[in-house]
Amino acid sequence: MIEVFITDIQTQMQADSMLEILKKSFPELKFNFDLSSSDAPFPCGNNILRAEGAMINAESIIATLNKSAFKCEVLEDKICV
């Protein structure tokens, strides 16, 4: 199973730090960031977090990022202008 999230993480340093936290909190999952966002504000301009594993608790992942002061949502089909 793969779940895709949008985040307001902007730098590789922030992503690396968050990856450490996510890997400790969810050792059964694989995570990676795609930091090639647009200049539009969150949620239309966003960076992607992917989680892969057998069972993914999206709410727990979102809460973990929120505790670290980052915005995070499950990626939905949105039309941004």
Q: Could you tell me the CATH number of the domain that includes residue 37?
A: 3.30.70.100
Please check whether residue 61 lies inside any domain of the structure: yes
Q: Tens-of-pLDDT digits for all 81 residues of the chain?
A: 999 999 999 899 999 999 999 999 999 999 999 987 656 665 566 789 999 999 999 999 999 999 999 999 998 766 555
pLDDT at 76: 79
Domain boundaries, position 46 = 2-72
pLDDT at 39: 61
Please check whether residue 44 is in contact with residue 38, taking contact to mean a CB–CB distance below 8 angstroms. Answer: yes
Please check whether residue 13 lies inside any domain of the structure: yes
> What's the total number of domains in the chain?
1
pLDDT at 78: 61
Q: Residue type for 42, please? A: F
Please check whether residue 78 lies inside any domain of the structure: no
In the DSSP assignment, the letter for residue 44 is: T
Q: Please state, in angstroms and rounded to a whole number, the distance separating the CA atoms of residues 46 and 14.
A: 14
Please check whether residue 79 lies inside any domain of the structure: no
Please check whether residue 77 lies inside any domain of the structure: no
Please check whether residue 80 lies inside any domain of the structure: no
pTM for this structure? 0.83
